[in-house]
Structure 1
């Protein structure tokens, strides 16, 4: 029997955990697989082993693992496969297939533009847009976020846009924000984050400190959250995983 196991990042904030679970459950309703479970890599329960074992207890013989992550960083490349490798050793009779993160997807530009236009009526030549990702030491994360920023700029003719990061990659959000002080009248901050959590709270504190020393208008957009476009991207990744012919060897 087949099972789908969705792996979210996890957060200490209950609101963020509930948002992640609700989003995945919306997608679950569109997929015809008998067993469907949600788990978290860290900071929340159930853990990956707990989710994996629940699938087995419900009768799963094949588990399709889908990472609910925006970009392909070390969590997706290393941490989740490490957990799955250990579980395969414990349960060698279970076949495992491992899917892809959201990654660079053309539809994402339209979602980001909707988030921007919800907060501002127009983007002028004196506006600077910051696309802010979580960040990672993995260079693919920097490359992919810059590609997403480029796609957004090309689709909607944004005059000035820059990708930056909260941790692990450069340039940092704080650095880019301060460097924009002398050049732009308005800065539009677009968090490339799925849901609420400590990271978005930290961004709000950074902006609060910044506006005390600047006359610029700083506009913070919403996280990606519940959205039909994001749901379609995840459903695409789910279907790719279900159609994978080879089982994963970790």
Structure 2
């Protein structure tokens, strides 16, 4: 069976790697016999190169890489592809396949909605305002990619007041988004992370939210079983494509 290498961003906050590791434990439990390994792009070990080197040393000839990323910012577009190219050059006998990022998968959108309702708000309450918080990027187009997620999270609810916002310096900020929702008439506010795992940036966003009245804070996506399901689906699709007959 082709090994799965799940590639996380990495964080100085140990809660982040623990949350991702727990999601991968679920993948393992639901896929007995699957060799699942965790690698990091930054700040944590093992690195992507170290994990791929170890798999090559173990004699594997194919590996499926699944980037645990929600957006197509620098790490998805530049950093990870460069690391995979370097690994292929070092190990020409190892076929390194890479899936698309987790992105705005429908299961993750549904998970975000579930985590919002877990704060105690009702899907039938039109007075709820939702600020969907992503990490943020220096690239405006990467930030704009978060905007279509917002109405999808609201689908099937009575919620009509919502906004994307960002934990970094990108605009709108958490504070400005929550303020705008409050001024629009929302009586109960929810800060909902479009962020996989807890960490310092999410703590910063929560700190801002805690200073605003009537705000509830949802937990990050790794608190939901859907993350493991999307990782497994990305892996299965990548393996399936690898075995499709090639057209001359």
TM-score, length of structure 2 as denominator length:
0.87
State the shift of 1:169 in Å: 3.8
State the shift of 1:168 in Å: 5.8
1:127 maps to which residue?
128
1:223 maps to which residue?
220
1:80 maps to which residue?
80
Which stretch shifts more, 116-125 or 12-21?
116-125
1:243 maps to which residue?
240
- For structure 2, the residue ranges without an aligned partner over 5 or more in a row are 244-248
1:187 maps to which residue?
189
Q: Give the aligned length.
A: 242
Determine if contact 1:39/1:47 at 8 Å carries over to the other structure: yes
How far apart, CA to CA, are the structure 2 residues paired with 1:80 and 1:164?
A: 26
Which stretch shifts more, 177-186 or 37-46?
177-186
Determine if contact 2:130/2:162 at 8 Å carries over to the other structure: yes
Question: Is structure 2 residue 21 aligned with structure 1 residue 14?
Answer: no
Q: What value does the CA root-mean-square deviation take over the aligned residues?
A: 2.4
Label 1:185 to 1:32 Cα distance change in 2 as closer, same or farther (>3 A). closer
State the shift of 1:40 in Å: 0.7
How far apart, CA to CA, are the structure 2 residues paired with 1:148 and 1:110?
A: 10
How far apart, CA to CA, are the structure 2 residues paired with 1:33 and 1:174?
A: 46
Deviations along 1:135-190, one digit per CA (max 9) or x if unpaired, are 12345533432222111222223121111112264322232233344333322110
How far apart, CA to CA, are the structure 1 residues paired with 2:169 and 2:80?
A: 19
User: Where do residues 32-43 of structure 1 align in structure 2 (5 Å cutoff)?
Assistant: 35-43=35-43
- Corresponding residue to 2:209 among 207, 210, 219: 207
Which stretch shifts more, 37-46 or 171-180?
171-180
How far apart, CA to CA, are the structure 1 residues paired with 2:127 and 2:3?
A: 51
TM-score, length of structure 1 as denominator length:
0.86
State the shift of 1:8 in Å: 0.9
- For structure 1, the residue ranges without an aligned partner over 5 or more in a row are none
Which stretch shifts more, 189-198 or 226-235?
226-235
Label 1:50 to 1:27 Cα distance change in 2 as closer, same or farther (>3 A). same
2:145 maps to which residue?
144
State the shift of 1:118 in Å: 1.4
How far apart, CA to CA, are the structure 2 residues paired with 1:152 and 1:35?
A: 33
Question: Is structure 2 residue 111 aligned with structure 1 residue 111?
Answer: yes
User: Where do residues 43-122 of structure 1 align in structure 2 (5 Å cutoff)?
Assistant: 43-122=43-122
Deviations along 1:62-121, one digit per CA (max 9) or x if unpaired, are 121111122332211211111111222222222111111112222233312221121123
Label 1:34 to 1:160 Cα distance change in 2 as closer, same or farther (>3 A). closer
How far apart, CA to CA, are the structure 1 residues paired with 2:102 and 2:119?
A: 25
Question: Is structure 2 residue 155 aligned with structure 1 residue 154?
Answer: yes
